């Protein structure tokens, strides 16, 4: 009787062992399949990054500022590729982070393309306009050089005293509740505030103020509403602008910058310019 019971126990243990072996085999198979899928996903992400690296390599411009920004972005792409290669495919949080960084770098490249196309188009027009202006100026000088010098001197004196100036320039970040924040993950818009100081000699009427906001890497933040303006005879792209009615008295104003896809930690800078071509000042803001 005892021998019979012993056999029953042995058979039961064999059945349990077989079931455990089958379960372990199934778990191992599922894990292997998941790892293979993650490896393929990492390889696809790496291939996309290399394609983006090649796209950056073919992008160039005639402007030193943009070329410097391009070099910075190219280096960032190269570093990201190296980080992807060194990261295990099973580190899903890192892979998702790299996918987001890939999207950001693609967006930045599209902004570069828009800037370069806009500047090239504007440059052609400016070249033609400048040539026509030089011919007209030369003819005018031939007709009355002495009068031109007198007028230029008077215009220079008036211009020096009629330049619009500003004070209290400040850059602040706001969250979705329209409250000031310094957390980069909560920012939905940036607001630049300043005051145009009183100047009775300045021209009266509508005046457009431009701002250029750069992220911690020195890349200009832009959206679909950016404009171009002249500064020291060169065209520049602004992040945002606003027109105000200036009558010679102090005017306070705020300029909003919306629709920026992502904000990173670091120091942001803003530069403000008037429609007359003068730089009004600059300020910084830290996001953490």
The Cα–Cα gap between 202 and 187 comes to: 37
H helices of the chain, where?
A: 2-58, 64-86, 92-143, 145-162
> Kind and range of the H or E element at 7?
helix 2-58
For the chain, the average pLDDT equals 81
Residue 129's pLDDT band (boundaries 50, 70, 90)?
confident
- Would you list the domain boundaries of the chain? 2-113, 164-287
**Range 231-252 average pLDDT:** 90
Q: How far apart are CA 283 and CA 124, in angstroms?
A: 33
Residue 106 has a CB neighbour count (10 Å cut-off) of: 13
Q: 23-43, pLDDT tens digit by residue?
A: 565 454 455 554 566 677 777
Compute CA distances 96 → 32, 75, 91, whole Å: 20, 21, 9
pLDDT category, 173, cuts 50, 70, 90? Answer: very high
221-241: per-residue pLDDT in tens? 998 777 899 888 889 999 999
- Please tell me the predicted confidence (pLDDT) of residue 257: 95
Percent of the chain scoring above 70 in pLDDT? 81
Q: What is the pLDDT of residue 80?
A: 81
Architecture of domain 164-287: Sandwich (2.60)
Residues 6 or more apart in contact with residue 61 via CB below 8 angstroms: 67, 70, 112, 115, 116, 119, 120
Residue 188: phi and psi, rounded to 5, are -115, -20
pTM: 0.46
């Amino acid at each position: 009787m005892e021998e019979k019971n012993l056999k029953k126990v042995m058979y039961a243990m064999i059945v349990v062992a077989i079931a455990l072996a089958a379960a372990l085999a199934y778990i191992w198979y599922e894990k292997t399949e998941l790892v293979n899928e993650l490896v393929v996903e990492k390889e696809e992400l790496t291939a996309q990054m290399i394609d983006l690296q090649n796209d950056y390599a073919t992008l160039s411009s005639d402007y030193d500022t943009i070329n410097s920004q391009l070099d910075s972005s190219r280096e960032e792409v190269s570093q990201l590729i190296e980080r992807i290669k060194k990261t295990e495919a099973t580190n899903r949080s890192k892979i998702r982070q790299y996918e987001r960084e890939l999207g950001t770098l693609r967006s930045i490249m599209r902004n570069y393309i828009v800037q370069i196309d806009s500047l090239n188009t504007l440059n052609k027009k400016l070249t033609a306009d400048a040539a026509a202006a030089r011919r007209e100026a030369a003819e005018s000088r031939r007709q009355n050089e002495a009068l031109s010098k007198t007028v230029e001197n008077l215009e220079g004196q008036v211009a020096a005293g009629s330049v619009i100036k500003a004070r209290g320039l400040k850059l602040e970040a706001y969250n979705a509740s329209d409250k000031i924040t310094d957390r980069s993950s909560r920012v939905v818009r940036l607001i630049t505030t300043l005051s145009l100081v009183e100047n009775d000699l300045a021209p009266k009427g509508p005046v457009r103020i431009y701002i250029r906001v750069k992220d911690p890497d020195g890349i200009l933040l832009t959206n679909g509403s950016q404009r171009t303006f002249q500064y020291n005879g060169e065209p520049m792209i602004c992040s945002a602008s606003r027109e105000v009615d200036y009558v010679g008295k102090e005017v306070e104003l705020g300029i909003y910058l919306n629709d920026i896809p992502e904000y990173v930690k670091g120091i942001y800078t803003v530069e403000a310019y008037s429609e007359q071509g003068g730089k009004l000042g600059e300020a910084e803001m830290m996001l953490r």
